[in-house]
Structure 1
Amino acid sequence: MAEDVLKTGTTTIGIRYKDGVVLATDQRATMGNIIAHSNVQKLYQLSDNLGMTIAGVVGDAQLMVRYMQSEIALYEMKKGAPMSVNAAATYVANAIRQGFYLGLIVGGYDKTGGHVFSIDGAGGYIEDNFMSVGSGSVFALGALQAAYKEDMSKDEAVDVAVTALNSAVKRDSASGDGMLVAYIDADGYHDVPNEEIRTRLASQGYKYPN
């Protein structure tokens, strides 16, 4: 792949907690060795009960988001019910085999509870309690492994997510420039306000990545 293709570089995170899931990403995009953008959307709401994080080529990511939002809306119109998290992950896994240069996390809440899936560029998808995808994932996974508990509350899961992101942006040059965090529970999809993210980082002795 040519070095001048705009990529999200990236650290993306998915965590399942007691009553839902947390999704989190940084906001940096790179072009080769250059930081091209510092306010990139890598966390998307797909529906009231589903979200997705993206790592990879920006154009492919935006196309995948539009495709999934359309497919989910059509599914819900036909079925009269929300799409399950497993079904959404299957849709993404099938679509990504068409040549998308992406690594994705799909998370959400359905009648069986919260679920997070990682999907690779070959269409393989795996469910787990926590995961990280992208260039900074090796650093984030260490923090996730150390702090994760199955019975975590939402607040604990958000704290773990921002701590893991912070570990990655401090070490990975392709990650940084802000954080996006959301949680999904029985009441739907919720963005965590930026000011709350800053406060959580400060309470742990960390600075917000700019």
Structure 2
Amino acid sequence: MECLMGIRFNDFVLLAADRINIWSIMAIKHDMNKIKNLSDNLIMGVIGEQGDSVQFSEFISKNIQLYKMRNDYELSPTAAATYIQRNLAHYLRSRTPYHVNLLVAGYDTVTNKPELHYLDYLATSTPVPYAAHGYGGLFTMGLMDRIYKADSTLEEGISMLRKCIEEIQKRLVVSLPSFKVCVVDKNGYRDLPDIIVNPPKLGINMPQPDASVSMMV
């Protein structure tokens, strides 16, 4: 029931991930961070099995930092996505596969272009202008396709994410009221304010008790 979304524009790329941590039918936490900072210009959103998500994201982040220390330069977004894909493919053919779906977002300081890469648990990897994982993606991909504009400003990009999150809140049976949002551009990675959805403002009917009906105890 998790949701992870990413949108690439001409000058920056946005990632948004829901904040809820679910186990079975229980909501364990509402302040979960599912977006990992890999380097100054590279971030990764991860959803999937809880243990797999934590272990794989830690494994990838530490090894990318190790590569930087050994070689004195950072991996480009494309190189990082290829490295992640290779590890997913390796573990997929082992006894301990990682059931995780990812979006890798970054800014290539050589080409001066933002990048967004879609990866799934079967080690699929491809660059995309926008993407979504989870049940929320079933409701947002068509909306993204309709309203996406590559030359949008940061404010317009955030507005686009908000429209997608509002659609998820309206249609998905599970409530995902808050999303963590991050941006990567030529100035690097930074957190943006969370997008929090208020159901009554969306016109969602909230049942009210009938004062004329008394309860018999």
**TM-score tier after normalising by the smaller chain length:** 0.7 to 0.9
Stretches of structure 2 lacking an aligned partner (at least 5 in a row): 92-96, 204-217
Q: 4+ residue runs of structure 1 moved beyond 4 angstroms?
A: none
2:17 counterpart (19, 22, 25): 25
151 and 91 in structure 1: CA distance in 2 versus 1, 3 angstrom threshold: same
Provide the C-alpha distance between the structure 2 equivalents of 1:93 and 1:175, rounded to a whole number of angstroms.
31
Q: CA deviation at 1:174?
A: 4.4
1:91 counterpart (71, 80, 83): 83
Comparing 120-129 with 75-84, greater Cα deviation is found at 75-84
- Find out whether 1:147 has 2:147 as its counterpart: yes
TM-score by length of 1: 0.84
The AA in structure 2 aligned to 1:67 is F
> Aligned to 1:77, what secondary structure does the other structure show?
helix
1:69 counterpart (55, 61, 64): 61
Provide the C-alpha distance between the structure 1 equivalents of 2:25 and 2:87, rounded to a whole number of angstroms.
29
Instruction: Map 1:111-130 onto structure 2 (within 5 A).
Output: 111-112=110-111, 113-130=113-130
| Aligned position for 1:52 | 44
59 and 118 in structure 1: CA distance in 2 versus 1, 3 angstrom threshold: same
1:20/1:185 contact within 8 Å kept: yes
2:28 counterpart (15, 20, 36): 36
- Find out whether 1:108 has 2:106 as its counterpart: yes
Provide the C-alpha distance between the structure 1 equivalents of 2:104 and 2:150, rounded to a whole number of angstroms.
19
1:11/1:165 contact within 8 Å kept: no
1:136/1:175 contact within 8 Å kept: no
Stretches of structure 1 lacking an aligned partner (at least 5 in a row): 1-8
1:46/1:65 contact within 8 Å kept: no
1:26/1:42 contact within 8 Å kept: yes
Comparing 129-138 with 39-48, greater Cα deviation is found at 39-48
RMSD: 1.9
| Aligned position for 1:162 | 162
Q: CA deviation at 1:101?
A: 0.5
Provide the C-alpha distance between the structure 2 equivalents of 1:143 and 1:55, rounded to a whole number of angstroms.
21
The AA in structure 2 aligned to 1:90 is T
Q: How many residues align?
A: 193
Comparing 155-164 with 54-63, greater Cα deviation is found at 155-164
> Aligned to 1:193, what secondary structure does the other structure show?
strand
1:135/1:174 contact within 8 Å kept: no
- Find out whether 1:134 has 2:126 as its counterpart: no
Q: CA deviation at 1:175?
A: 5.5
> Aligned to 2:132, what secondary structure does the other structure show?
strand
The AA in structure 1 aligned to 2:22 is T
Q: CA deviation at 1:166?
A: 2.3
TM-score by length of 2: 0.82
Comparing 62-71 with 124-133, greater Cα deviation is found at 62-71
Comparing 62-71 with 115-124, greater Cα deviation is found at 62-71
> Aligned to 1:122, what secondary structure does the other structure show?
coil
> Aligned to 1:22, what secondary structure does the other structure show?
strand
Query: What percent identity do the matched residue pairs reach?
Result: 27
Q: CA deviation at 1:206?
A: 4.9
